[in-house]
Amino acid sequence: MPKYDVHIYAVVRVAIRGVDAELPEEAVKKVDEEVNLHEILDRGIVEYAEDVTEYLVDEVEPNGDIKRSFKFDKDGKLVEQIL
C-alpha cells in the first residue's frame, strides 16, 4: 500500500497589537517590515483562521524519497500532478 505525506496549507491569524501609526496603511507597512513571522509561528502564537487554501500530497518511497506529488484545491479536488 502506498504511503503519503500530506501538507495542509492552512491560513492562520497573527494578531500584532498596539501598532503606532498615523494611517492604517502605515500600520501595515510597519508590521510588514518589523515583524518576524518565522519567530511568531515557531512560538505558536497564532490562531487557526478556519481556512485551508490547498493540499500538497507526496507519495513516498519506503526510503523516504518522493515518488510523485499532487496538488489539490481546498475542496480536495486534484489540480495537478507535479512529479
- Whether 45 shows a pLDDT value over 90: the answer reads no
pTM for this model (two decimals)? 0.78
pLDDT digits (tens, 9 = 90+) for 50-68: 999 999 999 999 999 999 9
Cα–Cα distance for residue pair 49/9, rounded to 1 Å: 12
Domain map of the chain by residue range?
A: 3-81
Cα–Cα distance for residue pair 74/2, rounded to 1 Å: 23
Counting residues of the chain whose pLDDT is more than 70, the rounded percentage is: 100
Among 38, 29, 2, 31, residue whose Cα is nearest residue 15: 31
Cβ–Cβ < 8 Å for 78, 54: no
Q: Supply the pLDDT for residue 83.
A: 80
Cα–Cα distance for residue pair 76/10, rounded to 1 Å: 13
